[in-house]
């Protein structure tokens, strides 16, 4: 599918959604749910409240769909809405985000290795998000979207509605805090070190 | 430190996703219903407002100092020949001026067919009754308003709207004329200020025929809506022909935006040279739709979509449809080569009826995207208009 075709398909789908067609609502949700869920998961580090967050994000998407002017791609626009939902969630919940232990152990990096390595990965992720829990909402969003979700700084800045410079500064400060925590925490240090080695 | 793709995402199981999806579908349909429900009270409120205005107007006429002459028996067709100073009430409309015309009525529709002359009307809009002025092949339908029709008895018709809006239909083309605007058979839609009052004076019609008994002073004839369909072509001659000329009964309120409206209209709407629009706009739109609604995003499609919006606006006068088409254009062809023209068209449509918030928003967007040029200067004036 070319970019142009995808673009026209998005426009047509949005127009169908605006008529209140249930099939179009389902189609839009199915097209974008995995990407939105993955981003939200990487920001929050768990599936706690994920059902509510996903629903809230898509509810806002459908409520504001009339305002989508096709200046950005539909995916980018939906991501922007999702990030706003995540930001509000982080701000309202304060910095105490409940982080789940990872369940799917085989999917943990290094999961094919020994039990010790699996345990290290699980503990490392948990400790990483414990550090992120101490960050402000904006810094956490910037860090997770850039460092974990792998989005370029400019895109992150666009998503969070900030400048590239401010976003870069937030990522840099957050990274500093993670590195400081790693210096005092051998498990986290080893986890991050293992990744750097990988 | 790079953590990209290092944090595994725990997938939500199908049941949870299905539940979210179900709730969303329900939520979206409830949202649609709420939007629909929100429209209903607005209609009722509007209806109540119209009724209140109608009641106030009727009360005002009843209390008017000028004694009313007993109305003639209601009939489906009545002929009137009146001169300045006379005022006639017909089914919620007050008619004044120098004109000769027939009134045909039934419960839902009142048609005033002018033979010639000038007619000034104050119409309390009644959604249950349509009031139409016919002058040769032109029909003017009130949408709740004060307006004036000048007809030379042959082809030349001028419509001036000082309050509210009228719908002018001629040769199957519909034009909505809002307050502060005028329409003529020759020049089409234009600002009221552009219509030279001298031109109107020169098109003074010949005295209306059959001007008979001259009463002592101007008076009002009130004609109820016809119910008995028996009498045909009854002539009701009224009017103080011998009295000196009086100022028209209805004077246009001063429009603070006359100059601004003129300035807005002086910035033309771009339209493709090969598209006429006056011959058969509906056919042209049908042709353009084939291009616009194809799955391509090429320049032909964007141009076609823009031209559809132009034709819907003028000559068809379907402003809401034109706006909807423009929204569609902005979504599909953001950055298209007609973008600025489309933005200006949006300003024209939004500012057609009143210089309100929607108009200012459209103008602000325009001046933001097109900071220089004559249209931008006008947009700045609109944005700053109080």
Predicted confidence (pLDDT) at residue A101 exceeds the cutoff of 80: no
Task: Provide the shortest C-alpha distance from residue A92 to chain B (in Å).
Answer: 22
Q: Note whether residue A97 is domain-resident.
A: no
* Dihedral pair phi/psi, residue B145, rounded to 5°: -170, 170
Same domain? For B88 and B32 the reply is: no
* CATH number assigned to the domain comprising residue A62: 1.10.1740.10
Residue B274: DSSP 8-state: T
Same domain? For B267 and B353 the reply is: yes
Same domain? For B320 and B340 the reply is: yes
Mutation site for A-interface testing, chosen from B36, B291, B331 by largest number of A Cβ within 10 Å: B331
Is B120 in contact with B200 (CB distance < 8 Å)? no
Same domain? For B316 and B211 the reply is: no
CA angle B167, B173, B178 (to 5 degrees): 30
Same domain? For B202 and B123 the reply is: yes
Per the listing, tokens 């209306």 go with B208
Same domain? For A141 and A76 the reply is: no
Q: Which residues from B are below 8 Å from A104, CB to CB? A: 8, 10
pLDDT band per the 50, 70, 90 thresholds, residue A84: very high
Q: Note whether residue B314 is domain-resident.
A: yes
Helix (H, G, I), strand (E, B) or coil at A16: helix
Q: What is the DSSP string of B221-244?
A: EEEPPP------SEEEE---TTSP
Q: Note whether residue A100 is domain-resident.
A: no
Q: Which residues from B are below 8 Å from A68, CB to CB? A: 331
* CATH number assigned to the domain comprising residue A141: 1.10.10.10
A102 interfacial to chain B (CB closer than 8 Å): yes
Residue B164 CA to residue B146 CA, distance in Å, equals 7
> From the CB of residue B125, how many other CB atoms can be counted at a distance below 10 Å?
18
| Among A60, A92, A124, residue at a domain's last position | A92
* ipTM, interface predicted TM-score of the complex: 0.81
Same domain? For A77 and A129 the reply is: no
Same domain? For B197 and B134 the reply is: yes
Same domain? For A125 and A164 the reply is: yes
Q: Note whether residue B246 is domain-resident.
A: no
Same domain? For B334 and B380 the reply is: yes
Q: Which residues of B touch A (CB under 8 A)?
A: 1-12, 16-17, 19-21, 23-25, 27-29, 31-32, 295-297, 328, 330-332, 334
Same domain? For B188 and B101 the reply is: yes
Residue A32 CA to residue A25 CA, distance in Å, equals 11
What pLDDT score was predicted for residue A34?
A: 93
| CA pseudo-torsion sign A66, A70, A71, A75 | positive
Q: Note whether residue A78 is domain-resident.
A: yes
Same domain? For B267 and B212 the reply is: no
Q: Which domain, by its residues, includes B214? A: 68-237
Task: Write out residues in chain B with pLDDT < 70, as ranges.
Answer: 1, 35-46, 60-77, 82-86, 91-92, 107, 125, 127, 144, 172, 196-255, 273, 275-279, 293-297, 386
Q: Note whether residue B12 is domain-resident.
A: no
A195 interfacial to chain B (CB closer than 8 Å): yes
Domain count, chain B: 3
Residue B238 or A36, more confident: A36
| Among A92, A119, A144, residue at a domain's last position | A92
Predicted confidence (pLDDT) at residue A2 exceeds the cutoff of 90: no
Residue B215 CA to residue B48 CA, distance in Å, equals 39
Predicted confidence (pLDDT) at residue A168 exceeds the cutoff of 60: yes
Give buried/exposed letters for B138-177 (b at 16+ CB in 10 A, else e): bbbbbbbbbbbbbbbbeebbbbbbbbbbbbbbbeebebbb
Residue B184 CA to residue B141 CA, distance in Å, equals 15
Please enumerate in sequence order all residues whose Cβ is within 8 A of that of B258, keeping only pairs 6 or more positions apart, or say none: B180, B191, B192, B193
Is A50 in contact with A40 (CB distance < 8 Å)? yes
* CATH number assigned to the domain comprising residue B124: 2.60.120.1440
Domain count, chain A: 2
Q: Note whether residue B5 is domain-resident.
A: no
- How many Å separate Cα B156 from the centre of its chain? 20
Of B10, B296, B334, the CB nearest to A103: B10
Same domain? For B210 and B167 the reply is: yes
Please enumerate in sequence order all residues whose Cβ is within 8 A of that of A24, keeping only pairs 6 or more positions apart, or say none: A13, A16, A17
Q: Which domain, by its residues, includes A46? A: 3-92
Residue A4 CA to residue B299 CA, distance in Å, equals 13
């Amino acid at each position: 599918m070319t970019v142009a075709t995808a673009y026209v398909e998005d426009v047509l789908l949005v127009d169908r959604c605006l008529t209140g067609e249930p099939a179009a609502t389902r189609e839009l949700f199915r097209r974008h749910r995995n990407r939105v869920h993955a981003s939200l998961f990487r920001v929050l580090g768990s599936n706690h409240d994920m059902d509510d967050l996903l629903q809230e994000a898509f509810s806002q998407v459908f409520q504001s769909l009339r305002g989508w002017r096709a200046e950005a791609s539909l995916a980018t626009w939906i991501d922007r809405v999702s990030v706003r939902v995540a930001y509000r969630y982080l701000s309202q919940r304060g910095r105490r985000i409940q982080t789940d232990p990872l369940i799917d152990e085989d999917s943990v990096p290094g999961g094919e290795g020994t039990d010790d390595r699996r345990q290290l990965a699980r503990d490392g992720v948990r400790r990483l998000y414990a550090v992120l829990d101490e960050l402000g909402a904006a810094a956490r969003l910037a860090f997770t979207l850039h460092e974990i979700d792998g989005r370029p700084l400019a895109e992150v800045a666009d998503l969070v509605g900030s400048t590239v410079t401010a976003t870069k500064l937030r990522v840099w400060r957050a990274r500093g805090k993670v590195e400081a925590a790693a210096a005092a925490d051998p498990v986290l240090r080893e986890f991050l070190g293992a990744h750097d080695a990988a | 430190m790079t953590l990209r793709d290092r944090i595994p995402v725990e997938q939500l199981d199908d049941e949870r996703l299905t539940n979210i999806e179900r709730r969303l579908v329900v939520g979206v349909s409830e949202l649609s219903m709420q939007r629909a429900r929100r429209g209903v009270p607005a209609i009722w409120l509007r209806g109540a407002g119209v009724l209140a205005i109608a009641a106030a107007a009727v009360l005002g006429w009843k209390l008017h100092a000028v004694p009313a002459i007993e109305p003639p028996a209601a009939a489906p067709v009545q002929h009137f020949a009146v001169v300045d100073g006379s005022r006639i009430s017909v089914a919620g409309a007050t008619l004044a001026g120098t004109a000769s015309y027939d009134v045909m009525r039934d419960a839902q529709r009142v048609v005033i067919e002018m033979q010639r002359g000038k007619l000034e009307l104050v119409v309390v809009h009644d959604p249950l009754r349509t009031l139409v002025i016919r002058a040769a092949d032109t029909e003017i339908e009130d949408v709740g308003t004060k307006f004036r029709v000048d007809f030379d008895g042959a082809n030349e018709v001028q419509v001036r709207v000082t309050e509210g809006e009228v719908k002018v239909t001629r040769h199957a083309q519909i034009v909505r004329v809002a307050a502060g605007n005028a329409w003529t058979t020759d020049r089409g839609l234009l600002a009221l200020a552009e219509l030279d009052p001298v031109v109107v004076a020169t098109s003074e019609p010949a005295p209306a025929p059959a001007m008979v008994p001259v009463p002592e002073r101007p008076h009002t004839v009130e004609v109820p809506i016809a119910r008995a369909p028996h009498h045909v072509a009854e002539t009701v001659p009224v009017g103080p022909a011998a009295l000196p000329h009086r100022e028209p009964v209805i004077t246009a309120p001063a429009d603070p935006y006359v100059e601004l409206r003129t300035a807005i209209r002086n910035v033309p709407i771009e339209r493709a040279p090969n598209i006429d629009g006056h011959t058969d706009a509906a056919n042209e739109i049908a042709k353009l739709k084939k291009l616009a609604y194809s799955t391509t995003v090429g320049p032909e499609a964007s141009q076609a979509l823009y031209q559809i919006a132009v034709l819907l606006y003028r000559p068809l006068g379907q402003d809401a449809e034109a706006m909807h088409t423009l929204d569609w254009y902005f979504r599909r062809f953001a950055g298209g080569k007609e973008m600025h023209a489309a933005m200006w068209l949006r300003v024209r449509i939004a500012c057609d009826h009143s210089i309100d918030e929607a108009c200012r928003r459209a103008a602000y967007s325009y001046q933001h995207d097109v900071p220089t040029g004559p249209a931008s200067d006008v947009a700045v004036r609109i944005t700053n208009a109080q």
